[in-house]
Structure 1
Amino acid sequence: MRSITAYCQISEDACYVNGDVVAQKNEESPDSWFKQLYKDLAIEYPKFYKMDMLSQAGFLGSEFIKQTYPGLISSYAEDEVALLFANSESSADTDIRFKESYQDKGSPSPSLFVYTLPNIVLGELAIRNKFYGENMFAVLPKFAPDFFLQYGQIMFETGSKAVLAGWLGILEGKVEVSVFLIEQNKPDGLQFNKQNVIKCASPDDQA
C-alpha cells in the first residue's frame, strides 16, 4: 500500500502541515512571506536567500515536512527518494524578473539567470538533502492529479522507496504550493489516490 504520509501546503497567507496551520503571514513584518517561513523553521541554510521563489517554495515545503516528522525522509538511502514536481507557469516568475533586470540595469542578472529553468528546484532539493534518485519536473496546463498518480507509480516500480512530490504555483504574487511525501508499505497516512492528491494540493480548503 502506498500512502501520503505527510504534506505541506503554502498559500499567500498561511502554511499548513497535514491540514493544521503552522504559520500565518505577518503583514507588518518587513520580511517577505517566504522569508518569514524560513525564519520560523529556525534553520541555518544561507543559500536560501539566493534562491528564486520557485526553489524557495519547494525548499520550504520539504523542510516543514522534515521538521514536523524528524527522520521521515532521512531514513531512506540517498538513491531511494525520487522527486516529482510540476506547475503550470514553468519559471515565468523568475523569467520576468530576469527580463526586468536587463531593462532596468542594462545588463541581465547572472544570479537570476541561474534560475530560469523550472527544474533547478530539483537540484536545490537534491543538494540540500542528498537525494540522488529519479527526478522529474513537468510543466502542465493545469494541476493534474493523474500525472502524480501515474508517474509516481512508475517511480515506485523502478526502485524508488519514497517519492517527494509537489505542485509549485508561483507567479507574480500568486502562491499555490503543495509538497507531499508518498511512501510504500505505510499503514498510516492517506491512501495514494486521486481524491487525496487533490486534497493535498488544495490549501484553501484547509481553512
Structure 2
Amino acid sequence: MKMITAYCNLRADECLVNGEVVARRDAGSEDSWFKQIYRQLDLGYPKFYKMDVLSQAGYLAMELIKKANPDITAAYADDEIALVFANASSSAETDRRFMQSYETGGSPSPSLFVYTLPNIVLGEIAIANKWYGENMFAVLPKFAPGFYLNYSEILLASDSCALLGGWLEVTAGSTDVFLFMVEERENGTEFNNGNLLHLSQTGLVAAY
C-alpha cells in the first residue's frame, strides 16, 4: 500500500518534521530564516548560499526529512525516486529580484537568471542527492492533493519505486512548504486526499 512515510512543513516562523517542531525562527538573528535552519543542521553544502529561496526551501525540507529518517532513501537506486513538486507563484520572487538587478544595476544578474524557472529546485535536490529519477514541477492555483495522487499512479507504475512530493510556495510575504515521501510500505499514513490535505496544514495555526 502507498504510504506517506515522512513529511516536513516549513512555515514563516517554525519548522516541523513528522508533526514535531524541530526549529523556531530567531527574530533577533541577522541571518534569514532559511540560513538559520541551514546553520542548525550544520550541512556543509556551500552551494546552498547561491540558491534562490525556492531551491533553499526544497533543499532544507529534504535534508530535514533525511535527518529525522536517516535510512529513508537507502533502499532505492539513484533513479528510483521520482520528484513531483508544485506551487502557485512559479519563480515570481526570483523573477522580481532579477528585474531589479537589471533596473538598478544596468545589467541582469546571471546568478539570478539561472533560477527564473521554478523547476530548478528539482535539479538542486537531485544534484545534492545524486538522484536521476523522473521529475516534474507544476504551477497550480492552490495545493491539490489529487494532482500528486494522479501523477504518482503513473510514476509508481513505471520505473519509480518512491515519490518525493512537494508544495513550495515561498514569496516575500509567506512561506508555505510541505514535502512528503511516498513509499510502498505497511506502516505510515495512507496516501490519500484527506491525509495529504491534513498533513499539509500541520503547523499553520502555530506559524500564523
Within a 5 Å distance, the mapping from 1:177-196 to structure 2 comes to 177-184=177-184, 186-196=185-195
Superposition CA RMSD, Å: 1.0
Quote how far apart the aligned CAs of 1:75 are: 2.4
- Residue in 2 that maps onto 1:6: 6
Residues 1:141 and 2:141 aligned together: yes
Contact map agreement 1:84 1:135 (CA 8 A) in 2: yes
> CA separation in 2, counterparts of 1:81 and 1:36?
28
> CA separation in 1, counterparts of 2:205 and 2:16?
8
Quote how far apart the aligned CAs of 1:172 are: 1.5
Quote how far apart the aligned CAs of 1:141 are: 1.2
> CA separation in 2, counterparts of 1:206 and 1:124?
30
Structure 1 segments (4+ residues) deviating >3 Å: 203-207
- Residue in 1 that maps onto 2:201: 202
Quote how far apart the aligned CAs of 1:7 are: 0.1
- Closer, same or farther in 2 for the Cα pair 1:154/1:145, shift >3 Å? same
Quote how far apart the aligned CAs of 1:205 are: 4.3
- Residue in 2 that maps onto 1:49: 49
- Structure 1, gaps ≥5 residues long: none
- Residue in 2 that maps onto 1:95: 95
Residues 1:168 and 2:149 aligned together: no
- Structure 2, gaps ≥5 residues long: none
> CA separation in 2, counterparts of 1:118 and 1:52?
10
> CA separation in 1, counterparts of 2:204 and 2:31?
26
Could you tell me the percent identity over the aligned residues? Answer: 56
Quote how far apart the aligned CAs of 1:189 are: 1.2
- Residue in 2 that maps onto 1:22: 22
- Residue in 1 that maps onto 2:108: 108
Contact map agreement 2:55 2:120 (CA 8 A) in 1: yes
Q: Which amino acid aligns with 1:158?
A: S
Within a 5 Å distance, the mapping from 1:66-77 to structure 2 comes to 66-77=66-77
Q: Normalising by the residue count of structure 2, what TM-score does the alignment of the two structures yield?
A: 0.96
Report how many aligned residue pairs link the two structures.
206
Contact map agreement 1:6 1:181 (CA 8 A) in 2: yes
- Residue in 2 that maps onto 1:38: 38
> CA separation in 2, counterparts of 1:161 and 1:206?
34
Contact map agreement 2:6 2:180 (CA 8 A) in 1: yes
- Residue in 1 that maps onto 2:82: 82
Query: Alignment partner of 1:125: what SS?
Result: helix
Contact map agreement 2:11 2:204 (CA 8 A) in 1: no
Query: Alignment partner of 1:49: what SS?
Result: helix
Q: Which amino acid aligns with 1:56?
A: Q
Contact map agreement 1:57 1:168 (CA 8 A) in 2: yes
Measured against aligned partners, the alpha-carbon deviations of 1:12-58 in whole angstroms (never above 9, x if no partner) come to: 00000011000000001110000001111111100000000000011
Within a 5 Å distance, the mapping from 1:150-161 to structure 2 comes to 150-161=150-161
Contact map agreement 1:54 1:118 (CA 8 A) in 2: yes
Query: Alignment partner of 1:203: what SS?
Result: coil
Contact map agreement 2:3 2:186 (CA 8 A) in 1: yes
